[in-house]
């Protein structure tokens, strides 16, 4: 993170997303949805990118939207490709940001979407990427793909997502990056208050909106998947572990059993990324060997 991302009281305030063009179902749009035209860039370590991999897989968009994956360990040059990206030729993600806007001076973040037709980044606006896959790319969804963002539930899904984003998805970062006690405590308390609410909510339903998966589950899961292995210790989110919440833990394992969730979860890359890359939090870069977690449903 950059110094500009700290507000009063040492609180972490995430940078705004710079590239926010929209891919549209309208063939006349500047960026029309087309199979094979766009390339999604991700890290398996990153929770915001993880969402996009889950949705891409759940909707069967693997061929329509090819993906490029960066190495989980990042240095001051930003995300690096293990081999130059075969489509763009880039060795670092920064090349794609600077090719789009030579004056870009923010962090070069994943997930982002590259347009092979115009040779520029369309978006790094992570909240929009999954909903774009759900709506603009509907024509290429696999037969029987779930409707993750049903029209009738959008208001409620958006409302729950806003709370989960502020206190859980980004809440763990606010706790972990806080530079002062008060900012840390505020974030950590808000996080566990929301986890308590979600624990209660899941007492009588399988997923956050009942029996059907939605965008809300896709957004909560990446944080839960990283919780005990990383956020509990590295980000000091240690009031309780995920496994201490019976309903949330049952829910997380049920999601993990779905290939789109489980097969996009790479705890080795996740741990190496956080503990090695975030030297502001873990100066030695030593990666803990635990915890032992059995994700299998019993």
User: What are the residues binding ligand GSH (CB under 6 A)?
Assistant: 14-15, 17, 46-48, 78, 107-110, 124, 126
CB nearer ligand GSH, residue 13 or residue 190: 13
Catalytic residue among 108, 149, 173, 275: 173
Residue 173 is among the residues annotated as catalytic for this protein: yes
DSSP bridge partners of 78: 75
CB count, 10 Å around CB of 173? 19
Least distance to ligand GSH from the beta carbon of 46, Å?
A: 3
CB nearer ligand GSH, residue 2 or residue 298: 2
Catalytic residue among 44, 46, 112, 274: 46
Greatest CA separation for the chain: 53
CB nearer ligand GSH, residue 4 or residue 25: 4
Residue 184 and residue 236 in contact, taking contact as beta carbons nearer than 8 Å:
yes
Query: Which sign does the torsion angle of CA 98, 2, 281, 218 carry?
Result: negative
Encoding tokens for residue 68?
Answer: 């490029």
Encoding tokens for residue 49?
Answer: 């990118």
Least distance to ligand GSH from the beta carbon of 203, Å?
A: 31
**Burial category of 59 from C-beta neighbours within 10 Å (exposed 0-12, middle 13-18, buried 19 and up):** buried
CB nearer ligand GSH, residue 48 or residue 275: 48
Least distance to ligand GSH from the beta carbon of 273, Å?
A: 8
Q: How far apart are CA 13 and CA 140, in angstroms?
A: 36
Least distance to ligand GSH from the beta carbon of 115, Å?
A: 18
Instruction: Tally DSSP H helices, then E strands, for the chain.
Output: 10, 4
Q: Where are the beta strands (DSSP E) in 99-154?
A: 112-115, 120-123
Positions annotated as catalytic residues are 46, 173
């Amino acid at each position: 993170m950059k110094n500009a991302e700290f507000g009063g009281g040492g609180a972490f305030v995430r940078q705004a997303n710079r590239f926010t063009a929209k891919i549209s179902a309208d063939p006349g749009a500047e960026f029309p949805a087309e199979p094979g035209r766009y390339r999604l860039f991700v890290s398996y370590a990153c929770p915001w990118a993880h969402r996009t991999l889950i949705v891409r897989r759940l909707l069967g968009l693997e061929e329509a939207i090819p993906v490029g994956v960066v190495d989980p360990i990042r240095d001051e040059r930003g995300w690096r490709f293990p081999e130059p990206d075969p489509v763009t030729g880039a060795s670092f993600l920064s090349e794609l940001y600077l090719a789009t806007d030579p004056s870009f001076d923010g962090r070069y973040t994943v997930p982002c979407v590259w347009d092979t037709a115009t040779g520029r980044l369309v978006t790094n606006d992570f909240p929009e990427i999954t909903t774009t896959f759900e709506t603009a790319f509907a024509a290429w969804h696999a037969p029987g793909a779930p409707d993750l963002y049903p029209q009738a539930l959008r208001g409620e899904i958006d409302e729950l997502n806003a709370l989960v984003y502020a206190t859980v998805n980004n809440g763990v970062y606010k706790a972990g990056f806080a530079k002062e006690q008060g900012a840390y405590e505020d974030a950590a308390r808000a996080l566990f208050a929301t986890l308590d609410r979600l624990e209660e909510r899941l007492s009588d339903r399988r997923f956050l909106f009942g029996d059907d998966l939605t965008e809300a589950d896709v957004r909560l899961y990446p944080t839960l998947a990283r919780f005990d292995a990383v956020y509990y210790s590295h980000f000091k989110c240690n009031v309780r572990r995920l496994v201490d919440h019976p309903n949330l833990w049952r829910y997380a394992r049920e999601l993990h059993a779905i290939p789109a969730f489980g097969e996009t979860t790479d705890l080795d890359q996740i741990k190496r990324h956080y503990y090695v890359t975030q030297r502001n939090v873990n100066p030695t870069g030593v990666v803990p060997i635990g915890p032992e977690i059995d994700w299998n449903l019993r």
